[in-house]
């Protein structure tokens, strides 16, 4: 490249070159400013950092490094830059501007990120970390993640069993960890917030040796904070070390580990529907800031760690072997007092306001010890024949999760909602679950990604799974074994136009074991299934950092268990969800970023059930309309301003116990930042107006309020 210029280049340790003048007969070499020569190592990959808000590649939908525009299914990538811009401190925050997601299905809840995807629960099956499952099979022992350790958060909508085995029909949330980098980078960060938040974090990465064969990264944080009510703690320690070793150009081994130590109270904003959503029979409303728990009793202690690796070896130009594995352990100790129904003191006069002043309270306790091992073996082959190119993937994975659990439920002390007095004695309840549960799953899958004439991209896949769940009860000494097997398939096609347009269509399936025994035959019931038809259009203007997408879908959950009039479990249930989703991440002018999303779900209801009362029932937290818009602008002198709005339409809650529709609400977010040399300062406000709103109501007559205003000031120093 420098031939004929009179210049020379000397390699530097960070992968660049120092450019200098060639040695002349009468003068010594003069070293110039180092120039970064961009090459293959700089291109975006499915796990790399993305500059800005627009990602081009992902592996969540295919388990291969694939351009998003060639993926025949709806996928959203929330980059670390965007999560930082909107002030996301949790998985729910990060997905707040994403279509098809409800981030407040249980309102403000400090215990876990309860999400629904296209109307279906995504929390119970568990999320994914680096394409490996964080399987939940207990009650409260839920694997945690931390957004500070995430490079990107990826969401694939619709069934995904062909690649991942058992799972819900709504989709997959996959967190991609920050990984070692070839270039040295260092970051220190301090956060202050309201509710009280004092956090110090650091992110350090770079090469270990001069050749760049060994790379490292350490991400960590320490937080002391308080929850929005009850003066309860919200403390956490998080650390995620990782190491990459490249002994040869064809072999890469990356070790990934993390540990989380959490000590917090338990915060949930739940009140009875009568008194929150609608007035009581006395015409009264309960103060919305009333906390029905016990500040000195409510507690969630979690200790979680995991260690794993990703091994890749390129055999030749055709074949590549991969093995990804992880073992994790989670200890959870939860105790919680939560409000229940009203205490009736005047049965002769149901409208007496005194009947709605005091509530019964329930007590939950759970100690859960969870262990999980998962391994995924893959052989990838790239084959070309004329105008046809195949990326063939054959995989064999194994999952084993077990939980030792003691969970109790009982009555707690009552509480006056208008003059609450806390500190009453709480008796720990007797256990109703005491035993050991395991889930084992082995799956064999095949996928072929076919390119024809650079215009057609076809994805075909199939998978066979065998899964076994066992329950050993220490309460009654019983042992229950529930084997299941299922075959799932997938097919999709994309047409790639030269102008950046890419229409697509796909069909996908899922399965989930029911873990239910037929009370008449004594045999396990078949797995429930999911299937989805989806058609859409993506647009990536050539040469521009923009993404547009539209998708329409018909998603069905079938064969799920409902109880008939004799209380016998029957597999006659069906739920249908139909909708349209729009999404855009654009940069209309330099320094201006706009992210928008719209979801329209005209149908989300039970269409078949052995219980006639369920037919026509609406799905939880699935409004017909949901809209979000975020925009930020960076000025030349370092100032950055941003604002967002999130609208959620009215919905039916969940069940006949909800006396009215949950009202629509709009939340506003604000960001102001300033960059000065190596410093970056930011102020984020979520729910700017501190709006009090009901996020959802359940089938038991309770409604849950969403998160109050949150203010976070962040100072980051990078070098």
Q: Is the pLDDT of residue 8 over 50?
A: no
For residues 558 and 609, give the distance between their C-alpha atoms in angstroms, rounded to a whole number.
10
CA 140 → CA 89, 111, 300, 330, 416, distances in Å? 21, 8, 9, 11, 28
Residues 507 and 526 in one domain: yes
Per-residue pLDDT, averaged over 304-324, amounts to: 98
Predicted confidence at residue 613, as pLDDT, reads 76
Q: Say if strands 128-129 and 132-133 run parallel, antiparallel, or are unpaired.
A: antiparallel
Predicted confidence at residue 1, as pLDDT, reads 43
Which is nearest to 572 in space by CA: 558, 588, 556, 593? 558
Residues 329 and 396 in one domain: yes
Predicted confidence at residue 559, as pLDDT, reads 85
The backbone region for 515, taken as left when phi is positive above 0, alpha when psi lies in -120 to 50, beta otherwise, is left
Per-residue pLDDT, averaged over 436-441, amounts to: 94
Provide the token pair at 559: 């064969």
Q: Is the pLDDT of residue 213 over 50?
A: yes
Per-residue pLDDT, averaged over 338-363, amounts to: 94
For residues 647 and 436, give the distance between their C-alpha atoms in angstroms, rounded to a whole number.
43
Q: Report whether 126 contacts 371 (CB < 8 A).
A: no
Total residue length of the chain: 719
Predicted confidence at residue 565, as pLDDT, reads 63
For residues 383 and 466, give the distance between their C-alpha atoms in angstroms, rounded to a whole number.
30
Number of alpha carbons in the 13 Å side-chain half-sphere of residue 496: 17
For residues 169 and 159, give the distance between their C-alpha atoms in angstroms, rounded to a whole number.
4
Q: pLDDT for 250-303, tens place per residue?
A: 999 999 999 999 999 998 888 999 999 999 999 999 999 899 999 999 999 999
Percent of the chain with pLDDT over 90: 77
Predicted confidence at residue 106, as pLDDT, reads 80
Place 28 in a pLDDT band, splitting at 50, 70 and 90.
Answer: very low
Predicted confidence at residue 610, as pLDDT, reads 78
Residues 10 and 142 in one domain: no
Provide the token pair at 467: 């899964």
Q: Is the pLDDT of residue 178 over 80?
A: yes
Q: What are phi and psi of 92, to 5 degrees?
A: -60, -45
Place 12 in a pLDDT band, splitting at 50, 70 and 90.
Answer: very low
What is the pTM (predicted TM-score) of this model? 0.90
Predicted confidence at residue 236, as pLDDT, reads 97
Predicted confidence at residue 699, as pLDDT, reads 78
Q: Report whether 336 contacts 349 (CB < 8 A).
A: no
Q: What are phi and psi of 614, to 5 degrees?
A: -85, -20
Residues 595 and 637 in one domain: yes
Q: Of 177, 194, 210, which residue sits at a domain end?
A: 177
Q: pLDDT for 489-543, tens place per residue?
A: 999 999 999 999 999 999 999 999 887 777 777 777 888 999 999 999 999 999 8
Q: 521 or 316, which is more confident? A: 316
Residues 122 and 240 in one domain: no
Residues 173 and 199 in one domain: no
Residues 3 and 97 in one domain: no
Positive or negative: CA dihedral 492, 497, 502, 505: negative
Which is nearest to 41 in space by CA: 183, 254, 248? 183
Per-residue pLDDT, averaged over 424-428, amounts to: 93
For residues 26 and 17, give the distance between their C-alpha atoms in angstroms, rounded to a whole number.
25
Predicted confidence at residue 11, as pLDDT, reads 40
Place 611 in a pLDDT band, splitting at 50, 70 and 90.
Answer: confident
Q: Is the pLDDT of residue 596 over 80?
A: yes
The vertex-374 CA angle with 368 and 377, nearest 5°, equals: 175
Residues 87 and 6 in one domain: no
Residues 66 and 107 in one domain: yes
Q: Is 1 helix (H, G, I), strand (E, B) or coil?
A: coil
Q: What are phi and psi of 613, to 5 degrees?
A: -65, -20
Write the CATH number for 270: 2.40.170.20
Residues 19 and 63 in one domain: no
Q: Is the pLDDT of residue 231 over 60?
A: yes
Q: pLDDT for 669-684, tens place per residue?
A: 999 999 999 999 999 9
Residues 167 and 189 in one domain: no
Q: pLDDT for 114-152, tens place per residue?
A: 888 999 988 777 799 999 999 888 778 889 999 999 999
Q: 525 or 656, which is more confident? A: 525
Q: Which residue has the tokens 């859409």?
A: 536
The vertex-104 CA angle with 650 and 61, nearest 5°, equals: 105
Q: Is the pLDDT of residue 14 over 80?
A: no
Cis peptide before 195 (omega within 30 of 0): yes
DSSP 29-72: --B---B----GGGS--SSS--SSS---EESTTTSS-EEGGG-S
Q: Is the pLDDT of residue 23 over 50?
A: no
For residues 483 and 469, give the distance between their C-alpha atoms in angstroms, rounded to a whole number.
6
Predicted confidence at residue 567, as pLDDT, reads 65
For residues 140 and 370, give the distance between their C-alpha atoms in angstroms, rounded to a whole number.
11
Q: Of 177, 205, 230, which residue sits at a domain end?
A: 177
CB atoms within 10 A of CB 344: 12
For residues 70 and 461, give the distance between their C-alpha atoms in angstroms, rounded to a whole number.
15
Place 224 in a pLDDT band, splitting at 50, 70 and 90.
Answer: very high
Residues 56 and 75 in one domain: yes
The vertex-59 CA angle with 54 and 64, nearest 5°, equals: 130
The vertex-20 CA angle with 19 and 26, nearest 5°, equals: 170
Predicted confidence at residue 656, as pLDDT, reads 54
The count of structural domains within the chain is 3
Which is nearest to 259 in space by CA: 208, 217, 303? 303
Q: pLDDT for 684-711, tens place per residue?
A: 999 999 999 999 888 788 899 999 999 9
Per-residue pLDDT, averaged over 240-256, amounts to: 98
CB atoms within 10 A of CB 299: 18
Q: Is 614 helix (H, G, I), strand (E, B) or coil?
A: helix
Q: Is the pLDDT of residue 13 over 60?
A: no
Q: Of 132, 155, 177, which residue sits at a domain end?
A: 177
Q: Which domain holds residue 8?
A: 1-37
Per-residue pLDDT, averaged over 13-26, amounts to: 40
Write the CATH number for 108: 2.170.130.10
Average pLDDT, the chain: 90
DSSP label of 238: E
Predicted confidence at residue 70, as pLDDT, reads 97
Q: What are phi and psi of 43, to 5 degrees?
A: -70, 150
Q: Is 481 helix (H, G, I), strand (E, B) or coil?
A: strand
Q: 325 or 611, which is more confident? A: 325
DSSP 70-97: G-SS-EEEEEHHHHHHTT--SHHHHTTT
For residues 632 and 5, give the distance between their C-alpha atoms in angstroms, rounded to a whole number.
43
The vertex-93 CA angle with 186 and 689, nearest 5°, equals: 115
CA 705 → CA 108, 276, 361, 471, 719, distances in Å? 6, 9, 18, 35, 42
């Amino acid at each position: 490249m420098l031939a004929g210029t009179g210049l020379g280049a000397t390699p530097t340790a960070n992968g660049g070159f120092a450019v200098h003048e060639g040695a002349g007969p009468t003068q010594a070499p003069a070293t110039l400013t180092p120039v970064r020569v961009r090459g293959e190592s700089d291109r975006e990959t499915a796990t790399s950092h993305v500059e800005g808000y627009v990602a081009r590649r992902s592996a969540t939908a295919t388990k291969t490094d694939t351009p998003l525009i060639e993926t025949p299914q709806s996928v959203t990538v929330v980059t670390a830059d965007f999560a930082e811009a909107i002030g996301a401190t949790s998985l729910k925050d990060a997905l707040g501007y994403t279509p098809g997601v409800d981030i407040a299905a249980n309102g403000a809840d400090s215990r876990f990120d309860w999400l629904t995807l296209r109307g279906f629960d995504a929390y119970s099956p568990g999320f994914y970390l680096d394409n490996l499952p964080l399987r939940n099979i207990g009650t409260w022992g839920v694997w945690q993640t931390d957004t500070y350790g995430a490079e990107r958060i990826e969401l694939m909508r619709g069934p995904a069993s062909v690649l991942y085995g058992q799972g819900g029909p709504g989709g997959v949330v996959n967190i991609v960890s920050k990984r070692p980098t070839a270039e040295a980078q260092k970051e220190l960060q301090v956060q202050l917030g309201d509710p009280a938040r004092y956090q110090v974090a650091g992110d350090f990465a770079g090469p270990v040796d001069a050749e760049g064969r060994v790379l490292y990264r350490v991400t960590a944080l320490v937080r002391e904070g308080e929850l929005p009510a009850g003066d309860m703690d919200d403390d956490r320690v998080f650390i995620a070390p990782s190491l990459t070793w490249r002994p040869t150009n064809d072999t890469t081994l990356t070790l990934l580990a993390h540990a989380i130590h959490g000590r917090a109270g338990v915060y949930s904003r739940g009140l009875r529907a009568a008194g929150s959503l609608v007035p009581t029979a006395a015409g009264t409303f309960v103060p919305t800031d009333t906390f029905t728990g016990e500040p000195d009793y409510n507690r969630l202690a979690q200790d979680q760690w995991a260690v794993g690796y990703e091994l890749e070896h390129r055999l030749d130009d055709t074949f590549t072997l991969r093995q990804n594995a992880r073992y994790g352990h989670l200890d959870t100790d939860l105790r919680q007092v939560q409000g229940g129904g009203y205490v009736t003191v005047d049965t002769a006069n149901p409208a007496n306001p005194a009947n709605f002043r005091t509530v019964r309270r329930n007590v939950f306790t759970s100690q859960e010890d969870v262990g999980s091992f998962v391994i995924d073996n893959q052989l990838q082959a790239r084959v070309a024949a004329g105008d046809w190119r195949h990326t063939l993937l054959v995989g064999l994975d194994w999952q084993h999760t077990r939980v030792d659990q003691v969970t109790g439920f009982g009555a707690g002390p009552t509480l006056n909602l208008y003059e609450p007095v806390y500190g009453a004695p709480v008796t720990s309840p007797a256990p109703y679950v005491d035993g050991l549960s395991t889930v084992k799953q082995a799956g064999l899958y095949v996928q072929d990604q076919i390119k024809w004439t650079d215009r057609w991209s076809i994805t075909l896949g199939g998978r066979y799974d065998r899964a076994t769940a066992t329950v050993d009860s220490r309460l009654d000494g019983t042992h229950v074994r529930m084997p299941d097997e299922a075959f799932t398939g997938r097919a999709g096609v994309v047409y790639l136009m030269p102008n950046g347009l890419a229409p697509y269509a796909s069909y996908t399936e899922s399965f989930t074991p029911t873990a239910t025994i037929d009370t008449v035959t004594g045999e396990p019931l078949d797995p429930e299934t999911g299937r989805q038809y989806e058609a859409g259009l993506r647009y990536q203007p050539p040469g521009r950092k923009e993404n547009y997408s539209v998708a329409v879908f018909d998603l069905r959950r079938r064969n799920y268990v409902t109880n008939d009039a004799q209380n016998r479990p029957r597999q006659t249930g069906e739920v249908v969800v139909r909708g349209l989703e729009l999404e855009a991440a654009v940069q209309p002018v330099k320094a201006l970023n706009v992210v928008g999303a719209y979801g329209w779900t005209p149908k989300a209801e039970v269409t078949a059930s052995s219980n006639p009362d369920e037919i026509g029932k609406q799905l939880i937290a699935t409004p017909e309309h949901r809209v979000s818009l975020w925009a930020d602008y960076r000025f030349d002198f370092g100032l950055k301003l941003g604002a967002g709005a999130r609208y959620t339409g009215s919905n039916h809650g969940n069940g006949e116990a909800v006396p009215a529709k949950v009202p629509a609400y709009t939340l506003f977010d604000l960001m102001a930042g300033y960059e000065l040399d190596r410093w970056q300062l930011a102020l984020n406000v979520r729910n700017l107006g501190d709006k009090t709103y009901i996020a959802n109501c359940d089938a038991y007559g309770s409604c849950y309020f969403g998160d109050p205003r949150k203010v976070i000031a962040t100072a980051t120093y990078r070098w």
